[in-house]
Chains A and B, each alone.
Chain A
Amino acid sequence: KAGVTQTPRYLIKTRGQQVTLSCSPISGHRSVSWYQQTPGQGLQFLFEYFSETQRNKGNFPGRFSGRQFSNSRSEMNVSTLELGDSALYLCASSSGQETDTQYFGPGTRLTVL
């Protein structure tokens, strides 16, 4: 099976711009979760989508949003970028059961200048 794919792998944006990141889960997986990783805060949960519905949400401002399509692919959008949004954004794929392993993609490195 192909693994989790994320595009693009690298992005450079300026403050105030918006950005969209994409995640394609493992075939058959219906759950996609997003995480932000920074040196200071570590890995923090952003939100999870399951069957096109947001099922859980972390403590991030409304500038961070997402959606999931019928083929389970997910996109994450960040509007009005701030310097502090510079991070590695990781998505994780699973079947959606609480007992399942989560499989992570390679991440998108976002740099905000």
Chain B
Amino acid sequence: KQEVTQIPAALSVPEGENLVLNCSFTDSAIYNLQWFRQDPGKGLTSLLLIQSSQREQTSGRLNASLDKSSGRSTLYIAASQPGDSATYLCAVRPPQGAQKLVFGQGTRLTINP
């Protein structure tokens, strides 16, 4: 059974810092891995999608990497801003299960001005 873990559960950093969020998964057999952002009480916003054959994806100040063999992904946020404060979730798509995503519990990020 696929399990996804995100550490730390919460992170607080001053504005301007570069930071890394971690995601690990137990089964390396995945179609892809997706990073999401969730603001309090809101839905999920897709940030980056990495296919199993890819090593990384970039969008603006965000960079996500994937090491399937070790079951790890990282989300790098450069020059953090207060508007980046949110919960960040990673999710993997197992090969059996169509559109089913298996989520981690998330990292709650606070950027202090």
Contact = CB atoms under 8 A, between A and B. Distances in A.
Contacts, number: 69
Nearest to A91: B43
Given A56-B98, A58-B100, A102-B34, A43 B89 contact: yes
Contacts of B45: 104
A50 B100 CA distance: 12
Interface of A: 4, 6, 31, 33, 35, 42-45, 48, 50, 55-56, 58, 88, 90, 92, 94, 96, 98-99, 101-107, 109
A96 B99 contact: yes
Interface of B: 31-32, 34, 36, 41-46, 49, 51, 89, 91, 93, 95, 97-106
Nearest to B104: A42
Chain A contact residues: helix, strand, loop or mixed: strand
A111 to B, nearest CB: 13
Contacts of A31: 98-99
